[in-house]
């Protein structure tokens, strides 16, 4: 009964794991959990908050003054004064500041999109080496099984006088090499799993289900090249930064123009007590005073405003040059990724042929050895040659997929 329950649990957990068996599913997990990507999105959210900060009037100023020695006036001594003032920047300044902040926030969002695409590439670049490792381990295990069978055959040949002890020793040496190679491959799995799982922000030894086979197919010429310079988030980010700098230039110019202020002064006035009679009291004796005010700032120190305008222009030039440089990087990166894809396709075609012919040669050599008991060294050499081509094929499949993932990142493929 306990065994039956354990089987049910394994089946249930296996069904849960099945939801994350494809690379696209791992992309989704990484997008939801990766702290670096989440940090990028928080930067975008913080940039949005900046819009409201710069798109609002400055706080009004309120002041209170108390006359320790009352100031005598015709209508009575002044006791205290209340002042309230609101400053207004030059027309359009707030809108320009809001536009600059909003454009920069949009640039932050494009930066987030690029970080997401780059994360997808990193996940793919960490996923496919696990496939290569699994293939190499399986090839090495098959090689060990074959060598063990060869060892048995060589031993029987020697016992029957149809073979030599050297053949037995040769296969034993190769068997030890294969066993050690398999042990090293097993040790290599832990760091590869750690690198992959940490991109997904999971436990370093979390189970990763890797595909059993990969498909490498020829791609049409100029594959996705039309979107290389049109949909790339980094280029969009730099365009938005240029537009934001243009808005910042307008802000700097408008800040060098006068600012206006309106306000009210309220003065508390006491009654005069130095008069001979009420008939001599002036009109409005002891009446509090209310005084509207208008103020204008005079921006006579021009150097800081000119420097701010110059700064904005220089940033526009900087972003323009960055965009040109990044476009060049994208173009060269695309060509290198495309070359890598074509190279791996050619190598895969070669390795398929070499594996097929090596198998044929190995069968012929093994048949000859079975009949004559000679040329066992050639059998072992051809077996290792076949092993090498099988491993090289697995590596070429891996490198093809990594190069394709790189090309997808450069062309900003959406998943």
Question: What pLDDT is recorded for position 181?
Answer: 96
pLDDT tens for the chain, 415 residues: list them: 333 333 333 333 333 334 446 899 999 999 999 999 999 999 999 999 999 999 899 999 999 888 887 767 776 778 888 999 999 999 999 999 999 999 999 999 999 999 999 999 999 999 999 999 999 999 999 999 999 998 888 888 888 877 788 888 999 999 999 999 999 999 999 999 999 999 999 999 999 999 999 999 999 998 999 989 998 999 999 999 999 999 999 999 999 999 999 999 998 887 766 655 555 566 666 688 888 999 998 998 889 999 999 999 999 999 999 999 999 999 999 999 999 999 999 999 999 999 999 999 999 988 887 777 677 888 899 999 999 999 999 999 999 999 999 999 999 998 7
89-123 burial, b at 16+ Cβ within 10 Å, e below that, comes to: bbeebbebbbbbbbbbbbbbbbbbbbbbbbbbbbb
* Cα–Cα dist 360/33, whole Å: 50
Question: What pLDDT is recorded for position 4?
Answer: 34
Question: What pLDDT is recorded for position 282?
Answer: 67
Question: What pLDDT is recorded for position 167?
Answer: 84
The H-or-E segment that residue 274 falls in is none
Asked if 83 and 263 touch (Cβ cutoff 8 Å), the reply is yes
The tokens describing 180, both together, are: 């050690």
* Number of helices (H), then strands (E), in the chain: 8, 4
pLDDT (tens digit, 9 = 90+) per residue, 256-297? 999 999 999 998 887 766 655 555 566 666 688 888 999 998
Nearest Cα neighbor of 291 from 260, 268, 258 is: 268
Question: What number of other Cβ atoms are within 10 A of residue 193's Cβ?
Answer: 20
Question: What pLDDT is recorded for position 20?
Answer: 44
């Amino acid at each position: 009964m306990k065994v039956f329950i354990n089987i049910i649990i394994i089946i249930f957990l296996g069904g849960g794991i099945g939801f994350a068996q494809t690379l696209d599913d791992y992309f989704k997990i990484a997008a939801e959990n990766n702290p670096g990507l989440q940090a990028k999105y928080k930067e975008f959210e913080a940039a949005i908050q900046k819009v409201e900060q710069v798109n609002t009037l400055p706080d009004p100023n309120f002041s209170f003054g108390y006359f320790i020695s009352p100031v005598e006036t015709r209508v009575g001594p002044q006791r205290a004064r209340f002042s309230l003032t609101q400053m207004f920047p030059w027309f359009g300044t707030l809108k320009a500041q809001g536009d600059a902040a909003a454009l920069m926030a949009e640039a932050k969002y494009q930066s987030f999109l690029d970080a997401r695409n780059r994360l997808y590439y990193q996940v793919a670049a960490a996923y496919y080496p696990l496939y290569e490792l699994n293939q190499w381990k399986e090839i090495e295990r098959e090689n060990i099984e074959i060598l063990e069978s060869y060892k048995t055959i060589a031993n029987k040949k020697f016992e029957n006088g149809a073979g030599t002890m050297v053949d037995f020793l040769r296969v034993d040496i190769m068997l030890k090499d294969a066993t050690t190679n398999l042990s090293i491959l097993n040790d290599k799995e832990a760091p590869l799993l750690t690198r992959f799982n940490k991109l997904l922000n999971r436990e370093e030894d979390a189970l990763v289900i890797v595909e059993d086979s990969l498909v490498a197919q020829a791609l049409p010429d100029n594959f996705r090249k039309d979107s290389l310079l049109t949909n790339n988030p980094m280029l969009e980010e730099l365009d938005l930064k240029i537009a934001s700098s243009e808005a910042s230039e307008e802000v700097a110019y408008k800040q060098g123009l006068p600012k206006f202020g309106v306000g009210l002064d309220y003065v508390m006035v006491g009654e005069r007590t130095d008069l001979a009679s009420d008939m001599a009291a002036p009109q409005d004796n002891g009446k509090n005073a209310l005084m509207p005010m208008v103020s204008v700032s005079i921006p006579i120190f021009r150097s800081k405003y000119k420097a701010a305008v110059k700064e904005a222009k220089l940033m526009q030039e900087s972003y323009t040059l960055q965009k040109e440089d990044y476009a060049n990087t994208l173009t060269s990166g695309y060509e290198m990724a495309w070359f890598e894809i074509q190279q791996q396709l050619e190598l895969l075609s070669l390795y398929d042929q070499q594996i097929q012919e090596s198998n044929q040669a190995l069968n012929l050599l093994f048949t000859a050895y079975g009949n004559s008991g000679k040329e066992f060294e050639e059998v072992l050499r051809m077996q290792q040659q076949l092993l090498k081509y099988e491993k090289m094929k697995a590596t070429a499949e891996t490198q093809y997929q990594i190069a394709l993932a790189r090309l997808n990142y450069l062309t900003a493929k959406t998943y």
